[in-house]
Structure 1
Amino acid sequence: MITYPDINPVAVEIGSIQLRWYGLMYLFGFTMAWLLARHRAGKPDSGWTRSELPDLITFCAFGVIIGARIGYVLFYDFPSFMARPWEMFMIWKGGMSFHGGLLGVIVCLFWYARKTGRPFFQVTDFIAPLAPLGLMFGRIGNFINGELWGRPAQVPWAMVFPDPAAGYIPRHPSQLYQAFLEGLLLFVILWIFSSRSRPRMAVSGLFCLGYGVFRFTAEFFRQPDAHLGFVFLDWMTMGQILSLPMALLGLGLLAASYSKKSPKIL
């Protein structure tokens, strides 16, 4: 068993002002997306210019934050937020849904594509490889907060999380599993794939497929939300319910992109 590194969730505190690690992780994620986008846009054959990036990243940021919070409220804890609606705006306390954030980004990117006259999947193919490192930082933020811990485990790297709700028993550090699978590993796959010649829509499809599969798998190690439990067949969690159609959508997008015999692009 490994001792959980009990990190203060507040990174900096000045008087009544608190800067939390969870919020900083979002900042790190957007910063990485910005740097990676500048790198890609700086290539002569990218089809993008660096001057387009401020609007693009801003659209994504709004989509992620607003969509992720609304998604969490709708998918995971609607009754509680109806009882205390003001807490909907307290995003620094956690409670963000990836699937809600994805829907928010899709809406904002559709708006951006219409605004700039670009094909929608040209925009999403450019953005998709930038997202996983942001997901990685988000899961590290969950780990620092000591939330979304895993199921009971006897593996050597199991941890006892300080939250009394975790029962002070060894558990999988599932936040780190997700940081690796949905974050680092998915980033490497997408970055390599998107660096090569491929049809339009294929990168977006691979992102949906990869995230759906990795999240579905990681959920087997993550403790289901206490107020939801298993929501289907006594073994499927809400995260798996939401990830399964995403993986199927990814397969469909990949099949469609290659079946069109569209010209290969970079």
Structure 2
Amino acid sequence: MNQSDFYFHRIDPVAIDIGGFAIYWYSVMYLVAFGAFWLLGRIRAQREDTPLEPPQVGDLLFWGVIGVIVGGRLGYVLFYGFDQLMGDPLFLFRIRDGGMSFHGGLIGVLVALWAYGRHLGCGFLRLCDFGAPLVPLGLAAGRVGNFIGGELWGRKTDVPWAMIFPDSIPGGERTSEALYQQYLTGALDEFARHPSQFYQAALEGLALFIVLWLYSARPRPTGAVGGAFLVGYGLFRFIAEFFREPDAHLGFVALDWMTMGQILSLPMFIIGIVLMTWAYRSRT
């Protein structure tokens, strides 16, 4: 019997369990994301060219959290679970069963920014430019949460850093001792996959944060920073999708190779290019 060369994922997704009340690591990562947004926002709001004062960052975060939760759930149901919704309308409210969409969350946040901007008397694009560099580290935290939860795994591969996600194996459970013993013999190596959650954390999270933070370090035309976020995320997500396993109930949705994530990222990229072009032309 040969020892497996790959890592077997069986991390407990529950961070804290108090009397049967479980707090999942994914929820903790949401708190990390919101905390990073607030801290970076307070730092950014100290600049003279920003539309908010440091105390107002908390208000912006509150509006954004509502947008993320409502938009993320609606987006997932409409983009990824519409058939399930048609058969079970209450599926919309079963958030504990999982299912949040970044693209839906983005739309929700944009609506929240528009509403907060009207309340504040501040331009919508200026708020978008302010908030764009604060988001990527939260996205990275979310992808780490996906990894800990053993979800949204990558496509099958034999690269040295590949991992075996028990939930991706038909009938597999991370708590199954029998499954783990099979893994130890190398019998599950054919199920090794890309840890695409980390790819997305590195691209959509860390890399995008560095690009946007440096790009916005000095004043840019109104709309340019927000446009750069759309371009960067759309590009990085499109690339990462080549390593991520398509949703089982959707598969490839176009041209026998494009995933739903890529379909939704293309408009982001295009709109971002148009917005940045408009921003610089308007300035001149």
TM-score higher than 0.5: yes
Work out whether 1:103 is the aligned partner of 2:107: yes
Alignment of 1:166-181 (within 5 A): 168=188, 169-181=191-203
Measured against aligned partners, the alpha-carbon deviations of 1:180-230 in whole angstroms (never above 9, x if no partner) come to 100010001001111123111000000000000000000000111110000
Equivalent residue in structure 1 for 2:239, among 181, 199, 217: 217
Contact residue 51 and residue 127 of structure 2 kept, 8 A: no
Contact residue 29 and residue 145 of structure 2 kept, 8 A: yes
The equivalent residue for 2:210 is: 188
- What is the aligned residue count? 262
User: Once the 2 structures are TM-superposed, how far is the Cα of residue 92 of structure 1 from its aligned partner?
Assistant: 4.0
Unmatched 5+ stretches in structure 1: none
1:30 maps to a residue whose letter is F
Alignment of 1:1-266 (within 5 A): 1-165=5-169, 168=188, 169-261=191-283
Unmatched 5+ stretches in structure 2: 173-187
**In structure 2, C-alpha distance between the alignment counterparts of 1:48 and 1:164, rounded to whole Å:** 45
User: Once the 2 structures are TM-superposed, how far is the Cα of residue 53 of structure 1 from its aligned partner?
Assistant: 1.6
**In structure 2, C-alpha distance between the alignment counterparts of 1:180 and 1:82, rounded to whole Å:** 36
User: Once the 2 structures are TM-superposed, how far is the Cα of residue 164 of structure 1 from its aligned partner?
Assistant: 4.2
**In structure 2, C-alpha distance between the alignment counterparts of 1:47 and 1:170, rounded to whole Å:** 48
Contact residue 68 and residue 97 of structure 1 kept, 8 A: yes
Q: 1 or 2 for the larger relative contact order (CA 8 Å, sep ≥6)?
A: 2
Measured against aligned partners, the alpha-carbon deviations of 1:89-108 in whole angstroms (never above 9, x if no partner) come to 34344311000000000111
Contact residue 12 and residue 18 of structure 1 kept, 8 A: yes
**In structure 2, C-alpha distance between the alignment counterparts of 1:82 and 1:34, rounded to whole Å:** 38
Structure 1 or 2, whichever has the larger Rg, is 2
Contact residue 196 and residue 244 of structure 2 kept, 8 A: yes
**In structure 1, C-alpha distance between the alignment counterparts of 2:53 and 2:203, rounded to whole Å:** 30
SS in 2 for 1:163: helix
**In structure 2, C-alpha distance between the alignment counterparts of 1:108 and 1:208, rounded to whole Å:** 17
**In structure 1, C-alpha distance between the alignment counterparts of 2:8 and 2:228, rounded to whole Å:** 34
Contact residue 22 and residue 94 of structure 1 kept, 8 A: no
Moved more, 29-38 or 192-201: 192-201
**Taking structure 1 as the reference length, what is the TM-score of the superposition?**
0.94
**In structure 1, C-alpha distance between the alignment counterparts of 2:86 and 2:16, rounded to whole Å:** 31
Q: Compared with structure 1, are the counterparts of its residues 15 and 4 closer, same or farther at alpha carbon in structure 2 (3 Å cutoff)? A: same
Contact residue 199 and residue 257 of structure 1 kept, 8 A: yes
**In structure 2, C-alpha distance between the alignment counterparts of 1:62 and 1:68, rounded to whole Å:** 10
Runs in 1 of length 4+ with deviation above 6 angstroms? Answer: none
1:63 maps to a residue whose letter is G
**In structure 2, C-alpha distance between the alignment counterparts of 1:233 and 1:5, rounded to whole Å:** 32
Q: Compared with structure 1, are the counterparts of its residues 11 and 137 closer, same or farther at alpha carbon in structure 2 (3 Å cutoff)? A: same
**In structure 2, C-alpha distance between the alignment counterparts of 1:107 and 1:44, rounded to whole Å:** 26
Measured against aligned partners, the alpha-carbon deviations of 1:224-264 in whole angstroms (never above 9, x if no partner) come to 111000000100000000000110000001111111125xx
**Taking structure 2 as the reference length, what is the TM-score of the superposition?**
0.88
**In structure 2, C-alpha distance between the alignment counterparts of 1:243 and 1:38, rounded to whole Å:** 29
Quick one: percent identity of the two aligned structures?
55
Q: Compared with structure 1, are the counterparts of its residues 5 and 161 closer, same or farther at alpha carbon in structure 2 (3 Å cutoff)? A: closer
